[in-house]
Amino acid sequence: MRSYRIVRIAGLHYERPKTELYRGNPGLTSAAYCKQQKTLFENAYTYGDSFSRGMARLGHEAHEIVYDLETMQKTWALEHGLPFGESCWSVEILLAQIRALRPDVLFFQDIHSLPHAEMRSLKDAFPSVKLVVAFRGYPGLDAEAMRQLSVADVVLAGSPVVEEKCSSAGLAPRLVYHYFDDSILRKLSRRYGDEADGSYGYDFTFIGSSGFGYGTGHQSRYWLLANLLRSTELRAWLDERETRPRSTVGRIKGAGKVRLIRGLASLHPSLVSRSADLPGVPSRLADLIRATGATRTGGPAVQALPSRVPMVPLGTVFRARCSGSVFGLEMYKILRDSRVTLNKHSDVAAGTVDNIRLFQATGVGACLLTDAGSNMTELFTPDEEVVTYSSEEECVEKQRHLLGHEALRRQIAQAGQRRTLRDHTAASRCEQIDGIIQERL
């Protein structure tokens, strides 16, 4: 087996963890680059350093670059005397880091970390680079994503949909799913203590994007959540972003509509419910009436509105049970403290399962209620290691059954965690990736 030097390039992407990292660690902005990176990884945001640790255990020299954390990246540049432009600091610093580290293998966790021109010329610019590996997990693939993947020597597909699309394009992908970083269990214990036996803070939870502000890729998730928030005691931490800036007046108007509909529904529920279907009612207002729970037609909104983009943040409709997005150890603690946690894949997953929440939730020991998929048995045994649903009605019924049968719920949660810690850890995925790299070097 040949040893090599590998660099993984990943992004943090979300603004909230970037802000929380420095706000929660006074003085970190002026700390050394290595200290900032260590603190980032200790908080378990996104991928952390699980990949480099896994590769190091296999005998390789491995490094991590988080290319979009501005303060940390600019600290590296200052420490190395690198001038950079304010408009293109991300690309300039990343290229300088690659030059300084002189890797044999570049592993792009984020295929959009460099412009296409730089991606295409990596081997010419850096003679040490023998292999370019690119990973794509999200199954939505536009022309630009395919163009970025096409320059890689090895494409790792984190989804059967990505595998199929890349195969059709002649890219010879290898299927490598997301994974769980089991060091998070130790980090949780250090920060929050061990989970008390039988003590849970939440019955039924969801953490993630509601779909609002993310185009059409999560329509079914949005309407599922809207209906579950109305019909169950679901507690949600939602990532919901505005698609365009809204004025203060606009925000007041939006909140006012919700309060008005709720008030009218409490006085005249049947009148308000019928108003959603009256001729002349604007579609956005009708959607809001349905999402607010004023309708009592008996049909789920996801079926009634199959082609409409999510149009109002669920957090403004269900304020009492929705909070803002959470990341890192705080997110993992909520998952750990949940009796049942919900997962719903994107619409572009097209009836398959692939997302990282499968492994995060089961890894910390939550009982996962997730949508069924044609490839689920490759990862977990349905209704033994995770619980699956194929409709909103089945989802509601199964969460009630699990919450009413504690021994069964705990048995499934424990089985799911055992499976993840056996088959879906960073160590197991690194072994798989290393085998693929060894074939190509």
Round to whole Å and give the CA distance between 223 and 299.
12
Round to whole Å and give the CA distance between 218 and 227.
15
Round to whole Å and give the CA distance between 229 and 210.
12
236 touches 206 (CB < 8 A): yes
Round to whole Å and give the CA distance between 354 and 356.
7
Residue-range domains of the chain with CATH: 5-179+425-440 (3.40.50), 183-243+310-423 (3.40.50.2000)
As a whole number of Å, the CA-based R_g of the chain is 23
Name the token pair of 66.
């988080």
3-state SS, residue 370: strand
**Among the listed residues 189, 430, 223, the one whose alpha carbon sits nearest the alpha carbon of residue 333:** 189
Q: What is the pLDDT of residue 304?
A: 41
Each of the 441 residues of the chain gets a pLDDT tens digit; together they read: 899 999 999 999 889 999 999 999 999 999 999 999 999 999 998 789 999 999 999 999 999 999 999 999 999 999 999 999 989 999 999 999 999 999 999 999 999 999 999 999 999 999 999 999 999 999 999 999 999 999 999 999 999 999 999 999 999 999 999 999 999 999 999 999 887 556 789 999 999 999 888 777 788 999 999 999 999 999 999 999 765 544 444 444 444 555 545 544 544 455 455 555 655 555 555 655 555 554 433 344 434 444 455 568 999 999 999 999 999 999 999 999 999 999 999 999 999 999 999 999 999 999 999 999 999 999 999 999 999 999 999 999 999 999 999 999 999 999 999 999 999 999 999 999 999 999 999
Name the token pair of 61.
């020299």
Name the token pair of 6.
């590998």
Name the token pair of 63.
């490094």
Q: What is the pLDDT of residue 305?
A: 40
Q: What is the pLDDT of residue 407?
A: 98
Q: What is the pLDDT of residue 314?
A: 94
Residue 353: Cβ-neighbour burial (10 angstroms; 0-12, 13-18, 19+) = buried
**Among the listed residues 291, 286, 266, 288, the one whose alpha carbon sits nearest the alpha carbon of residue 276:** 286
Residues linked to residue 340 through DSSP beta bridges, in sequence order: 204, 367
Q: What is the pLDDT of residue 284?
A: 58
Q: What is the pLDDT of residue 268?
A: 46
Which regions of 26-159 does DSSP assign to beta strands (E)?
61-66, 105-108, 131-136, 154-157
Rounded to the nearest 5°, which phi and psi values hold at 389? -135, 150
Q: What is the pLDDT of residue 353?
A: 98
**Among the listed residues 317, 358, 353, 315, the one whose alpha carbon sits nearest the alpha carbon of residue 335:** 358
Round to whole Å and give the CA distance between 17 and 236.
18
The one-letter amino acid at 174: R
Predicted TM-score (pTM) of the model is: 0.85
Q: Which helix (H) or strand (E) holds 15?
A: helix 15-23
135 touches 107 (CB < 8 A): yes
Question: Which 8-state DSSP code applies to residue 206?
Answer: E
128 contact partners, CB below 8 Å, separation of at least 6: 5, 102, 103, 104
Rounded to the nearest 5°, which phi and psi values hold at 367? -85, 115
Name the token pair of 369.
């209620």
Q: What is the pLDDT of residue 82?
A: 96
55 touches 62 (CB < 8 A): yes
